[in-house]
Amino acid sequence: MINYKVNAQIDKKNLGQLYSSVRWFAYTNDLDTLEKAVENSLLVITAWHSDQLVGLIRVVGDGYTILYIQDILVKPDFQNRNIGTNLMNKILNKYKDVRQKVLLTEEAPDVRNFYEKFGFVSGDKGSIVAFYSES
């Protein structure tokens, strides 16, 4: 059974294991910064199997006019069990009145399909252009 928690305290070990499981090593190279980033997010919803962190979605923004979905991830052993869908639905339901919802992600058919089922439109298909800078 999966339990969902809002803004739960998450220790660095659990964060590191979750982010490492999906190979997001840019985050796990500095767990102190990851921990601070999660703590300072607008909202974090986590998915737990017993005491194991198996999924997480976190958003940043003001919660009224802009919402940026920063991270959504599910441990590989728990993928395809609707955990990611449940996490996304919880965020979109909470912030349904926010006009602008944004995210950046990698290009892959399954990733594209996941976000499109929630009504997100890729910038390459619409009239929007996205800019980003990685330092």
The secondary element (H helix, E strand) that includes residue 100 is strand 100-102
A 10 A CB-CB count for 127 gives 6
pLDDT band at 89 (very low <50, low <70, confident <90, very high): very high
Write down the pTM of the prediction.
0.90
3-class SS at 106? Answer: coil
CATH class for the domain made up of 2-116: alpha beta
A 10 A CB-CB count for 107 gives 8
Domain boundaries, the chain: 2-116
> Mind listing the pLDDT tens digit for each residue in 12-63?
999 999 999 999 999 999 999 999 999 999 999 999 999 999 999 999 999 9
Q: 77, 43, 46: which is closest to 62 by C-alpha?
A: 43
According to the model, what pLDDT value does residue 82 have? 97
Helices (H) and strands (E) in the chain, counts: 5, 5
Q: At what angle do helices 12-21 and 31-39 cross, to 10 degrees?
A: 100
pLDDT beyond 80 at 86:
yes
